[in-house]
Amino acid sequence: MRLDHLAVAAESLDEGRAVVEEALGLTLQPGGRHAHFGTHNLLMGLADGLYLEVIAVDPEAPVPGYPRWFDLDRFHGAPRLSNWICAVDDLEAAMTRSPEAGVAVDLARGDLRWRMAVPEGGVLPYDNRFPALIEWQAGGHPSARLAGSGARLERLVVAHPEADALRAELSELSDPRVVFEQGAPGLRAEIATPNGMRVLE
């Protein structure tokens, strides 16, 4: 299990773009549409093969007959860092270890192909502080297609009242950048940019 990318949820891509670009002083790049969940995104490459996405419901897409991923059906308010995503080499094995992570869904965006564990209700464990699990397949990895932004994730703070239990459940993740803290559910990304240290929450 390894950190793959971060997701900022927004009611619209325009709102998400404005908040992230102001917070980081950097420009997002075009992403694409996710037909299965009726969402679309914008992207930003980070160092070390990571990337950041802004994701929102696509107003031009049909409403799916099931909950969208990342709990987007219930999302309201200002854009915020909503989810973190970890890659695994064997999604079935990872779901066996953590069945509450969801069921495997085959997804595509352009020529990218991946499988993701998505809870049937759209809400991940630990108040959405459990990472979404992804297994990349055809088309490579989005980070390889993004222009460098000069930004690097220094620390991701995952806060939850049951932080110790969450940490224990994610024992396969060994990444010094990911820190678990007890507190109200939340995420905080500390990102070094050409404009200095910036924070996304």
The mean pLDDT of 140-145, rounded to a whole number, is 93
* pLDDT tens-digit readout, 8-29: 999 999 999 999 999 999 999 9
The predicted structure's pLDDT at residue 109: 87
The predicted structure's pLDDT at residue 110: 86
The mean pLDDT of 147-173, rounded to a whole number, is 97
The mean pLDDT of 127-145, rounded to a whole number, is 94
The predicted structure's pLDDT at residue 136: 97
Confidence of residue 99 (pLDDT cuts 50, 70, 90): very high
**2-146 has which fold?**
2,3-Dihydroxybiphenyl 1,2-Dioxygenase; domain 1 (3.10.180)
**Pairing between strand 186-193 and 178-181?**
unpaired
Q: What is the mean pLDDT of the chain?
A: 96
